Each structure stands twice: as C-alpha cells, then as structure tokens.
Amino acid sequence: MAMINSMTGYGYAEGQLDDITYVVEIKTVNNRYFRERIKLPESMAFLEEDIDRLLRKNLLRGTINYTLWFKSAAANKLFDIDQTALREYVEKLGQIASSTEVKCQIDISSMLNLPGVWMPKLPDEKQTEQIKTKVLNTTQQAIDRLKQMRAAEGTALTVDLANYCRAIKNDLDQIRTRNSIVLEEYATKLKKRVDELLAEAKLELDEATLAREVAVFAERSDISEETARLDSHLQRFAESCQVAPPGDNIPNENHRTNEQTGRRLDFISQEMLREANTIASKAGDTEIIDWVVNIKCHVERIKEQVQNIE
C-alpha cells in the first residue's frame, strides 16, 4: 500500500564531466508552502531556472535547500585570471611608487588576491548544454534519493497515525457504550431523588412530568451527531493518508496520491478536535469526559505529526 511522504529528507548525488565532479546536495524540512533556497557557483548561475522547475515538478511543499558545488576540479577548469585588471593594478602601483618616490617591490602572486583578478571561467554554448544535461541528471538522482528517504519517513508516520486513529476509535466506542447507560442512570437517580423529596412533603409526582425532565436531559446531552461526525472524520483521515481503519478496506479510488495530503490531514484533525470539544461540553458524565481527554491527546499528537507530511 502506498503511503504518505514526510517533508524531511536528504538527497546527495555526484556527476562527472570533463574532469569536474558536480556535487548536488538537497536538504528538506517542513513548511506550509513551497520554499526553496538554491546555492550555485557563480559560473553555474544560468542553471537556476531549470533547477527550480525540476524541484517544483518533483516536490509539492517544504523548505528545500539545494546546493551545487565542485569536487576534484583543477583550478584552471573553474577560474581564469583577468589579465587586463591585473595589468591595471600593476600600472597604478607603479605610478604611485614613482610619484611618491617610495621604493616598492610588486609581487604578482600576492596581487592575485585583489578584487576582480580572479573570475569564474564561463562555459561556451556547447559546454553550457553539456553541463546543463549533467547537472540536471545529477539533480534528479539526488531528488530520487531524497524522495526515497521522505517515503521511508512517511511510512513511519503512517504507522504512528494509524495507531492514534485506532486509539481514538476505541475511545469513541467506549463513549457510545457509556452514553447509552448514562441516560438510564440519570433517570434512576432523578426518580430516586424526587421520590425522597416528595416523601418528606407527602406529595406525588406523575410519571409524565418525570419523563419530560428525562427527555430534556437527553436532548441537552445528546452527543450522537458529534460521535457520528468524529467517526466520519476518522474515515476521511484514513482515506486521505491511505491508512485503513480497523476492520475496513479502503477502495483504490479513494486513495489520494496527487494532492497535498498534509494540508488535508491538518484540516481534518482540526475538525476532529472540534467534535471532541463539543462532546466534552455536552456530556455530563466524568467517564465520558475522561475518554474525551484521551481523544484530545491523541488528536494533538496527530496534529503535530501531520505538520511534517507533504
């Protein structure tokens, strides 16, 4: 069964062309939106747009840190000396030395550290296409490894979410069972208390009046709609992350693979918490409230987990 993907991952790949090894490193963390930071050597700036398209094609959201750098490359392959700039430096220094009558020795090797002397070696048109193909292929390899890691993380997240959903389902079943008993207990306690008070006053209360009071309590504390909606949210949550709830098989047509699952799961978990809060406010039974507290704890853990789902 295909499962959800985490937004946390790492991908690394190398590609060699003309004695230069191009290294691509991609790190991703969670983010509500798609955010990218692309770091390229100055001579590779022409690749930024193509790399951006490739990242957006493969990744839906998250903060993506992309870095391209060179490895095992000779200096003459990457940089060149701007002889015009170096010659101007020498001439200026010579003029200053002559005008001030200050004796100085010009060291060419030291002058290589001056601004503008070194410049990146820009590829020609043919080399540009070759580099573009090599870097994009290497980038795709890094992305594939990144996606493998994100899928593995997603598998672990799916297992955790399935466990939380199962725990919520169990607590919800307990609430339903207890809720059917609460009304009977209330009616019994109310009748006993009324009988005690009326016995002291030597009065009688007709059954119709007692029934109306029980009906009012039942209406005020009815949580059947809330439990049904929470059950429905659990089903939708399972369908969205392809986690089968206990005893259910999810049809393939309900599987969601082409949308940002994390956002949908975040919305559903908020709705689950809303229903749990309503149940707690309407239920007047301590046991039901205890189970609701358990449900809210599980939902909060779910909300934390889904923040890292793509």
Q: What percent of the chain has pLDDT over 90?
A: 45
* pLDDT at residue number 191: 55
Phi-psi region of 145 (alpha: psi -120 to 50; beta: other; left: phi over 0): alpha
Residues β-bridged to residue 17: 20
Strands 118-120 and 79-81: antiparallel
Q: How far apart are CA 306 and CA 165, in angstroms?
A: 13
Give the distance from CA 89 to its chain's centroid.
53
Q: Would you say 242 and 1 are in contact if contact means Cβ atoms under 8 Å apart? A: yes
Q: How many CB atoms lie within 10 A of CB 286?
A: 7
Question: What residues contact 180, with CB distance under 8 A and at least 6 apart?
Answer: none
Q: Is the pLDDT of residue 256 over 50?
A: no
What DSSP assignment string belongs to 222-253? --HHHHHHHHHHHHHHHHHHT-PPTT----GG
Q: Would you say 301 and 162 are in contact if contact means Cβ atoms under 8 Å apart? A: no
Per residue in 149-178, pLDDT (tens digit) is 999 999 999 999 999 999 999 999 998 888
Decide which of 237 and 99 is more confident: 237
Mean pLDDT along residues 81-110: 71
Per residue in 34-81, pLDDT (tens digit) is 999 999 988 889 999 999 999 999 999 899 999 999 886 555 555 566
In the DSSP assignment, the letter for residue 6 is B
Q: Is the pLDDT of residue 242 over 80?
A: no
Q: How far apart are CA 62 and CA 270, in angstroms?
A: 21
Give which of 60, 4, 26 is closest to 140, Cα–Cα. 26
Q: How far apart are CA 86 and CA 77, in angstroms?
A: 20
Q: Answer yes or no: pTM beyond 0.75.
A: no
Q: How many CB atoms lie within 10 A of CB 299?
A: 25
Q: Where are the alpha helices (DSSP H) in 79-124?
A: 83-100, 108-111
Hey, what are 158's tokens? 């799916």
Confidence category of residue 253, pLDDT binned at 50, 70, 90: very low
* pLDDT at residue number 2: 46
Q: Helix axis angle, 125-201 relative to 207-220, nearest 10°? A: 160
Decide which of 273 and 245 is more confident: 273
Q: Is the pLDDT of residue 251 over 70?
A: no
Lowest mean pLDDT among 30-44, 197-211, 274-288: 197-211
* pLDDT at residue number 220: 62
* pLDDT at residue number 121: 66
Hey, what are 122's tokens? 């820009």
* pLDDT at residue number 90: 74
The listed range with the strongest mean pLDDT (99-113, 171-185, 277-291) is 277-291
Q: Is the pLDDT of residue 88 over 90?
A: no
Give which of 274, 268, 282 is closest to 232, Cα–Cα. 268
Q: How far apart are CA 182 and CA 185, in angstroms?
A: 5
* pLDDT at residue number 139: 98
* pLDDT at residue number 140: 97
Cα angle 153-156-157, degrees, rounded to a multiple of 5: 85
Strands 118-120 and 20-29: unpaired
